[in-house]
Amino acid sequence: EKPSKPERMEAPVDTMLKDMATVIFSTFLLAGWVAFVITYPKEFQRQMEEKLELLQRQQLVFQPPADLSPDADYLDVARARTESSNNSSPSLTPRASNHSDLSVPELGSPTAEQDDTGEEESNIVRVGNISFNPKNVLGHGAEGTIVYRGQFDNRAVAVKRILPECFSFADREVQLLRESDEHPNVIRYFCTEKDRQFQYIAIELCAATLQEYVEQKGFDRHGLEPVKLLQQTMSGLAHLHSLSIVHRDLKPHNILVSMPNAHGRVRAMISDFGLCKKLAVGRHSFSRRSGVPGTEGWIAPEVLSEDSKDNPTCAVDIFSAGCVFYYVVSQGSHPFGKSLQRQANILLGACSLDLLHTDRHEDIVATDLILQMLSMEPQKRPSAESVLKHPFFWSLEKQLQFFQDVSDRIEKEPLDGPIVRQLERGGRAVVKGDWREHITVPLQTDLRKFRSYKGGSKHHYRELPEEVQESLGSIPDEFVSYFTSRFPHLLHHTYKAMHSCAHERPFLPYYHYTGTPVQTLPSPAEPQKSDLPEEPQQGDPPTDPQKANLPKEPQKGDPPTDPHEADRAKEPHQGDLPKDLEE
C-alpha cells in the first residue's frame, strides 16, 4: 500500500504542467495578436502610400491634355479629399512627402524646377472658369466642405468645394451672395461651377480670419484697429439686415480680413452664408425648424430655449455680434466662459465682462454697448444701425462735438426742466463728489475768474489763458481725454440722459431715430413791442452801442454778479452737475 501512494500523486503534477503549458501558449497567442493589431495599420498605411506613389508615376508618364473635361479630373479631387481628411496640413500629404523620391529620368524633365512645374500643372483641376490645385488647401468647413486657393479669370480667389448632399445649401448661399455682395464689408462672389461630383463657388480671397487677427501674435493688421474692424463688421451686418437676410452663424471664424489693396489698407468682411436665412416679404422672424441654428457657443438663447414663445429674428445676429465684440476688446475671451460651458451659460444668462475695467472711459462705453447686445430679451437688443450710432465708435472729435451740442441745448433750459433734471440725476457720482478736486490748478484758478462769453459761440478755448490751454491740451484729442480720463462716466451718463432728444435734428448724428426729425430752433416771428428796444426819451443820456453791452456798475445792495459767487451762495442739491463743468 505504501508504494502505491506516490503513483496517485503523479496525476496532479501532470495536470499542473499541462495547465502551465496552456497558459504560456495562450500568452504567446495573445502577444502575437496584440502585435498584429499594432503593426497592421502601419503596414496598411505603407501599402496605401505605395499605391498612391504608383498612381502618381503612372499619371506623370501619361500627361492628360490641357482641355480635359471636368469629370475626368475627379480622380485628383477625390484623392486630394482623402489626403486632406487624413492630414491636417496639405504639406504632410503622401503625395507631397513622396515627391522628392522621384528620380529625374522617371519625371522626364532635366531640372528639378521643371519637375515642380510639371507636377503642379498635372495637379490643376479645371471646372469651367474655376481652376485650383487640390494641394493648396486653405481650410475645412462643415459637411465636408473644403476651401482651396484657386484662380478665376486670372484673379486669385478662394474656391469652396461642396458635396452633393449640400447642393441645396450651396444654391441658397450663391443666391444670397449675389444679392448682398455689393457692400465692401460682405465677401465678394465671383462665380459658381458644377461637375458630376461637386459644386464649386469662387469668392474673394482673404488674408486671415478674425480669430487669427486676435490670437496670432505679430499679426500684421495693416493699420486696421479693433474698433474700426468691429465697425466695419456691423456695417456689413446692417447691410444684410436691410435686405432681410439673417446670417445666423456670426463668429470669429466667419469674419475675414481682406488682402491689402493698392494703398496697403485692409477691411473686415462677413463670409460663410451657408446658414443664412432670407426672411419672406413682410416677415420679421423665422421658424426654429429652419435648419441648423448656428455654431455652439455663439447661438442666441431664444434659438435653443424651449420657453421662448416668439420665433427668432435678426436679433440673433446682434447677440452673436455682442459675443464677437467682447472677444475682440478682451483679446480672445468669451463673455460666457470656456467652450464646454458656453451654450449652457448662454441659456442661463451667465455673462461676465470682468476683463473690462469699471474706471476706464473706453471700457465703460464698451460695456454699455455689449450688455445691450447680449440682452436675454431679443426685443431689448439694439438694431445693427443703432449699434453703429453708439459712442463706442465715436472719434474724439465727435465726442467733443456732442458735448458742445449738449451745452447749446441746455443753455436756455430752465433749471427744473426735464433735461436738466435728467442730467443732474446721478451727476454727483459722475464727477466724483467735488469735481474741483480732480482738475488741474491752472483750470481751477481760471474758473474762479469772471469772464463774459459770447452767447452765440461754442468755442471759448481760444479765449483761455495760454497756461490753461497747455493744461487742457490740444483740440480735440487731448482736450477730450483731459475730461474723460478724470470723469470716465461723463460721456456715457450724458449720452443716456440726452436720449430724450434723439428725435431733434441736432442729435440725429448721435442716435438712431427712424421718425421725422423735429426742428428745435424757434421759428422767426414778428417781434412784440416788449421785445423791441425802448425809444430814447427827451433828456435821456446818449446811448453808446458798445457801452450798452457792458455790464452795469453794481449798486449798493445788489446781488453779486459773479456767477461763481452765486453758485457758492446756493447750497448744491444731491446729484447736481456743476454749471462750470457743463460750460
Instruction: Identify the pLDDT of residue 285.
Output: 64
d(CA 332, CA 237) in angstroms, rounded, equals 21
The pLDDT assigned to 294 comes to 82
Q: What is the 3-state secondary structure (H, E, C) of 492-544?
A: HHHHHHHHHHCCEHHHCCCCCCCCCCECCCCCCCCCCHHHCCCCCCCCCCCCC
Q: What is the pLDDT of residue 533?
A: 47
pLDDT of residue 157: 95
Say yes or no: 231 and 175 in one domain: no
The predicted structure's pLDDT at residue 43: 63
| Measured distance CA(386)–CA(383) in Å, rounded | 5
Partners of residue 201 on adjacent β-strands: 160, 192
Same domain, 225 and 324: yes
Q: Are residue 383 and residue 260 in the same domain, yes or no?
A: yes
How does pLDDT run along the chain (583 residues), one tens digit per residue? 455 555 555 556 677 777 788 888 888 888 877 777 676 666 656 666 665 555 555 444 444 444 434 443 433 434 444 343 444 333 333 333 333 333 333 333 344 445 555 556 678 999 999 999 999 999 887 778 899 999 999 899 999 998 887 777 778 788 888 888 789 999 999 999 998 889 999 999 999 999 999 999 999 999 999 999 999 999 999 999 999 999 999 999 999 999 999 999 999 999 988 778 887 766 656 665 655 678 999 999 999 887 777 788 999 999 999 999 999 999 999 999 999 999 999 999 999 999 999 999 999 999 999 999 999 999 999 999 999 999 999 999 999 999 999 999 998 888 889 999 999 998 888 988 777 778 777 777 766 665 555 544 445 677 777 887 887 888 888 889 989 999 999 999 999 999 999 999 999 999 998 877 876 654 344 444 444 444 445 555 554 444 444 445 555 555 554 544 444 444 444 444 444 444 4
The span from the CA of 285 to the CA of 313, in Å, is 4
pLDDT on residue 75: 37
Assess whether 190 and 246 both reside in one domain.
no
Same domain for 337 and 442, yes or no, is: no
pLDDT score at 436: 74
Closest Cα partner for 313 from 375, 261, 369?
Answer: 375
Residues 6+ apart with CB under 8 A from 523: none
Q: What whole-number percentage of the chain has pLDDT above 70? A: 67
Domain end point (choices 204, 221, 236): 204
Helix, strand, coil share of the chain (percent; to 5)? 50, 10, 40
Q: Are residues 354 and 214 in the same domain?
A: yes
The grid cell for 18 is 499541462
Note whether 235 and 371 are same-domain residues: yes
Residues 271 and 385 in one domain: yes
Confirm whether 249 is a catalytic residue: yes
Q: Which of 200, 66, 55 is nearest to 121 (CA)?
A: 66
CATH of the domain at 290: 1.10.510.10
Task: Say if residue 306 is in the same domain as residue 345.
Answer: yes
Using CA atoms, how far apart are residues 195 and 439, in angstroms rounded to an integer? 72
Angle between helices 396-410 and 490-497 (to 10 degrees): 50
The pTM (predicted TM-score) of the whole model is 0.67
Q: Say if 62 falls within a structural domain.
A: no
Q: Is the distance from CB of 424 to CB of 577 less than 8 angstroms?
A: yes
Task: Supply the pLDDT for residue 292.
Answer: 61
Q: How far apart are CA 318 and CA 381, in angstroms?
A: 7
Give the domain CATH number at 505. Answer: 1.20.1440.180
Q: How many domains, the chain? A: 4
Note whether residue 548 is domain-resident: no
Q: Are residues 232 and 285 in the same domain?
A: yes
Answer for the pair 93, 177: CB distance below 8 angstroms, yes or no. no
Position 120, amino acid: E
Query: Which one is catalytic: 115, 249, 272, 317?
Result: 249
In a domain, 351, yes or no: yes
Full DSSP string of 36-48: HHHHHHHHHHHHH
